[in-house]
Amino acid sequence: MPTRVSRTAWNGTLQEGSGQVELSSSGAGTFEVSFPKRAADDADGTTSPEELIAAAHSSCYAMQLSALIGEAGGVPQSLEVTAAVSLGPDTPGFKLTGIALTVRGEVDGLDAAGFATVAQAARESCPVSKALTGVAITLDAALL
């Protein structure tokens, strides 16, 4: 399996500095980061480690759920997954305080109970979920 690479260039102090995070392997883009905007309610056009983790988690979870639906005899027509990653204080510094996964699916061949079962199994077996075992991960899963 391949290794993926991202690079960040940072200049200045935590409060006054800023940086750019580059998605190096894919070349998909370079995005601005700064701590004041990371800690603010309005990101104002910058990303953050939490948003990048949310992107990784939602996409990984969607892939894992799709695979498990197929293994259970269903056919996923559409899955919409949201991952909300929260940051809070810690001593010292900060920590991820929780991740809320929400999935809404249109699936042929599974009833609501079957979907809930595979959705939970995907939460537990998704590689990003496994990497984030130190963070509480909740799941809200339902068929459309």
Predicted TM-score (pTM) of the model is 0.95
pLDDT band at 43 (very low <50, low <70, confident <90, very high): very high
Strands (E), the chain: 7-11, 18-23, 29-33, 75-89, 94-108, 137-143
Please state at what angle helix 112-125 crosses helix 49-71, rounded to 10 degrees: 130
Separation between Cα atoms, residue 115 and residue 135, nearest integer Å: 24
Domain 49-143: CATH superfamily is K homology (KH) domain (3.30.300.20)
Classify 46 in phi/psi space as left (phi over 0), alpha (psi -120 to 50) or beta. beta
**For position 36, what pLDDT does the model report?**
94
Note the pLDDT of residue 131.
98
83-102 per-position pLDDT tens digit:
999 999 999 999 999 999 99
Average pLDDT, the chain: 97
Q: What angle do CA 37, 43, 46 make, to 5 degrees?
A: 80
Banded model confidence at residue 62, pLDDT cuts 50, 70, 90 = very high
Q: Provide the residue count of the chain.
A: 144
User: Please, which pLDDT band fits residue 38 given cuts at 50, 70 and 90?
Assistant: very high
- Percentage of the chain lying above the pLDDT 70 cut: 100
Nearest to 132 by CA among 60, 73, 65: 60
Calpha distance 34→51 (Å, rounded):
13
State the Cα angle at 111 between 56 and 135, rounded to 5°.
Answer: 30
- Structure confidence at residue 74 (pLDDT): 98
pLDDT the model gives residue 23: 97
Mean pLDDT of 57-67: 98
User: Mean pLDDT throughout 52-65?
Assistant: 98
Domain boundaries, the chain: 7-39, 49-143
Token pair for 52: 């990048």
